[in-house]
């Protein structure tokens, strides 16, 4: 009985020590600035051209889809803008494009779509 009480006391002390150490670590982590892997959006004037790939999409069946990749050519580098541009479908009854550039069919037919960014408007069929 005495040994059980001693073991319970030791476990309680160990648990308290772990809890206070974890709380201290959490407090230290909240003081550090968070690092982000996001790249800052370029100003529209910095974008020299936009490249949309693929240039043509054929979707067969309601379960089919395609991913658009929009690359902005800047002065010194290229940047993926696929999730940052606004997509438009000429006939929204035929297909929809998610904000990340995934094209999904809604009905049979042909359509022309575009992906505008400021005044630069590449289009694809």
The per-residue pLDDT for range 16-40, each reduced to its tens digit, is 555 555 555 555 555 666 676 777 8
- Alpha-carbon distance of 37 to 67, in angstroms, equals 22
Shared-domain flag, residues 110 and 49: yes
Q: Which residues pair with 105 in a beta bridge?
A: 95
Does residue 62 sit in the same domain as residue 117?
A: yes
pLDDT above 60 for 89: yes
Decide if pLDDT at 57 tops 50. yes
- pLDDT value of residue 88: 86
Q: Is there a single domain that holds both residue 63 and residue 106?
A: yes
Mean pLDDT of 98-108: 91
pTM for the complete prediction? Answer: 0.58
Q: What is the DSSP string of 52-121?
A: EESS-----STT--EE-EEEEE-SS-EEE-TTTSPPEESSTTTEEE-TTSEEEE-SSS---EE--BTTB-
Do residues 1 and 50 both lie within one domain?
no
Given a contact cutoff of 8 angstroms between Cβ atoms, the answer to whether 79 and 46 are in contact is: no
Q: In the chain, how many domains are there?
A: 2
pLDDT at res. 108: 85
Residues 20 and 74 in one domain: no
| 18 and 67 fall within a common domain | no
Range of the domain at 92: 44-124
Residues 49 and 88 in one domain: yes
- The DSSP letter of residue 32 is S
Query: Could you tell me the CA-to-CA distances from 88 to 19, 26, 106, 113, 115 in Å, in that order?
Result: 53, 45, 14, 6, 6
Percentage of residues in the chain having pLDDT higher than 70: 59
Residue 44 has a pLDDT of 83
State yes or no: pLDDT of 118 exceeds 70.
no
**65 and 15 both lie in a single domain:** no
Q: 60 and 24 in one domain? A: no
Question: For position 94, which CATH number holds?
Answer: 2.60.40
Which pLDDT score, from 0 to 100, does residue 55 have?
Answer: 85
What is the greatest pairwise CA distance in the chain? 83
The contacts of residue 20 (CB under 8 Å, 6+ apart) are none
In this structure, the answer to whether residues 55 and 17 fall within a common structural domain is no
């Amino acid at each position: 009985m005495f040994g059980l009480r001693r073991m319970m006391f030791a476990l309680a002390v160990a648990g308290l020590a772990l809890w206070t150490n974890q709380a201290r670590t959490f407090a230290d982590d909240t003081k550090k600035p968070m690092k982000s892997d996001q790249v800052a959006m370029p100003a529209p004037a910095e974008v020299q051209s936009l490249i949309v790939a693929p240039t043509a999409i054929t979707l067969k069946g309601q379960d089919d889809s395609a991913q658009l990749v929009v690359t902005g050519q800047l002065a010194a580098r290229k940047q993926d803008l696929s999730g940052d541009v606004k997509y438009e479908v000429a006939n929204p009854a035929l297909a929809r494009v998610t904000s990340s550039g995934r094209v999904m069919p809604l009905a049979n037919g042909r359509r022309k779509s575009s992906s505008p960014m400021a005044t630069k408007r590449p289009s694809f069929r």
